[in-house]
Amino acid sequence: MTWFVCIDAGGSGSRAALFRRNNEKIEVTVTGMPISLRLGASVAFNRMMDLLSTLSDSSSISVDEISSVCIGLAGTECVSAARTFRELCPQSKKWLIVSDGIGHLIGALCDAPGACIAVGTGVILEGIDNDGRFFRRGGWGFPVGDRGGGAWMGMELIWSLMSQMDEGDLESIELPIQSGISLNRSELIEWTASAGASDFSGLARTVFKMAAAGDECARRIVLRAVAEIDSLAKTVPSRLPICLAGGVGRRLMDYSNNKYLRPKHSAIWGLRRIQLGMVDYRDWEIG
């Protein structure tokens, strides 16, 4: 039996799905750690292989029985890292490597013209216009870009709490960044010195929770995130439908006045269509 795998690899986490050769039905799914080229090509590759091993253990098949892998990978804008990642991939398998936003785009719109803004740890907009031309916006990466994404929201929360500390309103803070332990000034500085995009993105849940409970600071962060996504949406050619995808994106829809569409299918579904040759991926493939 020959098996195929599709991997939605993002900055907050990853998901892999196992398929039989020509079947669109998912046999097994597993989740894993964030996989992004911004962590380095070797780290991303090792985490991907760990995810394949987890999938193998969950399905009782050997990794050697997997003949094709299609991965939507975060951080593909880092060209040199993408090239190194490609070189690390074993030649015994067929590899299709695209950006993580491509799976969301194909899944969201079912190959139709339009745009998809994928908002998770980061933010990327990808689309296809009415003439079939591909376009991309955002995706600049943490920490200088991806405004409105989960990592940006987490940083906004930390900045706000730091300001409150400076003003004397807080002596310590309680956040789910060290098993709920309160952090004083020096501990917070130590945490932020080593924190990455995924760490900050983990605080986005706290922002949404605080906003729902009526916290004005958190609500302002959420509304500023919405404003950033709405600003990015204005760069889409007129009259094209726009989907909002990703874990953070789905939650931001509740606060936006824009009429974003909900994705028709998942990123895994989109990647599987690419893998089956139902979509021409040649302009998107990495390496």
The full set of domain ranges for the chain reads: 3-110+265-275, 113-263
**Digit-coded pLDDT (tens) for 51-71:** 999 988 888 888 888 888 999
Cβ–Cβ under 8 Å, residues 107 and 269: yes
Q: What are the angstrom distances between the C-alpha of 213 and each of 33, 207, 219?
A: 29, 10, 9
| CA-based R_g, the chain, Å | 20
User: 121 with 12: CB under 8 angstroms?
Assistant: yes
Q: Are the folds of 3-110+265-275 and 113-263 the same?
A: yes
This prediction has a pTM of 0.80
What's the mean pLDDT in 6-33?
Answer: 84
* Model pLDDT, residue 181: 46
Q: Is omega for the bond preceding 113 within 30 degrees of 0, making it cis?
A: no
Answer yes or no: are the C-beta atoms of 187 and 179 closer than 8 Å.
Answer: no
CATH of region 113-263, choose from 3.90.180.10, 3.40.50.261, 3.40.50.720, 3.30.420.40 = 3.30.420.40
Residue range 3-110+265-275, CATH number: 3.30.420.40
For residues 134 and 113, give the distance between their C-alpha atoms in angstroms, rounded to a whole number: 9
CA 71, chain centre distance (Å) = 12
- Average pLDDT for 132-150: 85
Q: Is the pLDDT of residue 175 over 80?
A: no
Instruction: Give pLDDT tens digits for 13-23.
Output: 889 998 887 77
Query: CA 114, CA 241: separation in Å to the nearest integer?
Result: 5
